[in-house]
Amino acid sequence: MQRDGKGERSLSMLLDLLRIPLLRSVYRGFGIGLVLFFIADVGFVSLHFDLMSNAEAPTEYANGIALCLGALISLMIGLQHRLRSANRIFWYAIAIALVILAANEMFDLPARIDRAWAAQGYMDLIFLVLTPIGLYLACTIEAAPPLAVRAMQVGFVFQCLSDLLDLVDGGFDRYWDSRFTDMMNDLSELIFIEAYLFGLACLLLTLLARRFVKAG
């Protein structure tokens, strides 16, 4: 009973920490930064719409940068755990996977053939199947706060939308320019990456707050 009371007090202190203006301003600022990054990407695409037909379109680089940021945050989350612990290994694996995806986005490593369900398409399908498992493990292992969980859920919805657009890519060319489909595909991908980034940032702040509570 005494241990349960201590756990409840720690949880109460954690929730109080998450409500303080500094932490709230940090994740709000990060969220605003992601929105501005998305708006800048949309503006750049609008000005350079003719580049959307290229394999290495501007939005591909934006998605690669966002994935690299996700890898950095995942690495920082891993550093909050003990050396050689299962949690640290898990987050290191996530960071490595995001770096590989970023390289694939920016440098076209597997030399994508169709953008549908060809070489990269199957890779996208595999990641789509594995993503909810990884999200569940991440949120369960770290006891993620509701805000982080909701951000992950929103990200997965847009990930499904992005893969759906990738699947039907080419089927709408009779109605509009194929570059528009490419643009919508890449922008929806950036949205779900940014949603995951926001969720990871909230999770990292939670872990830092927990460490502060334990140190106190």
What's residue 2's pLDDT?
Answer: 46
Instruction: State mean pLDDT over 138-155.
Output: 91
Q: Is 200 helix (H, G, I), strand (E, B) or coil?
A: helix
Task: Give tens-digit pLDDT for 61-101.
Answer: 888 889 999 999 999 999 888 887 889 999 999 999 999 88
Query: Is residue 3 over pLDDT 60?
Result: no
The top-scoring range by mean pLDDT among 34-38, 40-44, 46-50 is 34-38
How many domains, in total, are found in the chain? 1
End-to-end CA distance of the chain: 22
Which tokens sit at 114? Answer: 């169709």
Predicted model pTM: 0.68
Query: Is residue 42 over pLDDT 80?
Result: yes
Q: Which of 203, 206, 195 is nearest to 66 (CA)?
A: 195
Task: Give tens-digit pLDDT for 94-145.
Answer: 999 999 888 777 776 655 445 555 545 567 777 888 899 999 999 998 888 8
DSSP states of 39-60 as a string? HHHHHHHHHTGGGGGSTT-HHH
Cβ-contact 147, 206 below 8 angstroms: no
Domain range for 17 is 2-215
- For residue 20, the 8-state DSSP code is S
> How many Å apart are CA 118 and CA 123, to the nearest integer?
9
Cβ-contact 74, 200 below 8 angstroms: yes
